Structure 1
Amino acid sequence: MPRATVPRTTWETLTEAVRETGGYPTRAQAEHLTRTVLTALGTHLTGDERVALAQSLPPEAGHLIAAQIPLPHPLTAREFVDALSTRLPDSTPATARWDVSSVLTTLSDTIGPALTDQVLSQLPRGYALLFGRAELTVMA
């Protein structure tokens, strides 16, 4: 069972970090993107990792993760970005990838490498790049 953690940041700090990472002109735009991406991410996580992630984030962000019903099968990274591009105003596949990566890279920086590894363990290959990490493969 995961132990309760104290959020490392506030909602304002988190969304300001997304604004800076993505180069967005306003925090309102960064807040909208953060809400949209975290809501979608919440549909991909289950179990202890989901609980630990929600607890490590500010309550506003943790609720976005915890309130979602997990999908039976997570989308591939490309499908995830494509699905989000339909929910983001004036989005193209390239801008949607930038937006998703801006939020998830900031999320990774916020929660730290150990929890990021746990989250990535639940997602299909390809998500590491969205979290600002190299996609490592094991050579046989």
Structure 2
Amino acid sequence: MVMLWDAFLDQIKERGDYASRREAEQAARVVLALLGAHLVGPERAELAAQLPETWSLVLLDPLHAPEPLSPERFVRAAAAWIEGATEETAKWDVSAVLSAVADAADEELMRRVLLQLPPGYDLLFGHPQAL
């Protein structure tokens, strides 16, 4: 079942401890665009199908990363695009958004998404993987 826009944004706002929905929305746009640039194939489409349409379209933006970013570089990239963010606050932003994404997807889909990403993203999604 697809999560509603308000519920998804409220979840991010709460997890990120944002003062306004606008702040939560900015973080969501940046993080989902970056994530979408790193995913390919059916996992990208299946994950997008679990999100509200606005966020689904952001995730499906046709930009593709030339190389997969490590979790640290992903956070730095988010910091560069989120107004007023530092690397420390961007880590919080990334985790707030990605944990909401993980909650919208089932475990099997999350497992396949994490297989596409470099090691360490499981922590950003709030789903540590057993080794």
Q: 1:48 aligns with which of 42, 55, 62?
A: 42
**1:24 aligns with one of 18, 29, 51:** 18
Match for 2:121: what amino acid? Y
TM-score (norm 2): 0.93
- Separation in 2 of the partners of 1:114 and 1:54? 15
Is the CA contact 2:37–2:65 (under 8 Å) kept in the aligned structure 1?
yes
Distance 1:26 1:61 in 2: 18
TM-align CA RMSD: 1.2
Percent of residue pairs identical:
37
Q: Quote the Cα distance in structure 2 between the aligned partners of 1:28 and 1:112.
A: 27
- For structure 2, the residue ranges without an aligned partner over 5 or more in a row are none
Unaligned runs of 5+ in 1: 1-6
Q: Write 1 or 2 for the structure with the bigger share of helix.
A: 2
Aligned twin of 1:14: 8
SS at match of 2:38: coil
What is the number of residues matched between the two proteins?
131
Task: Normalising by structure 1, report the TM-score.
Answer: 0.88
State which structure, 1 or 2, has the greater radius of gyration over its C-alpha atoms. Answer: 1
Structure 2 residue identity aligned to 1:81: V
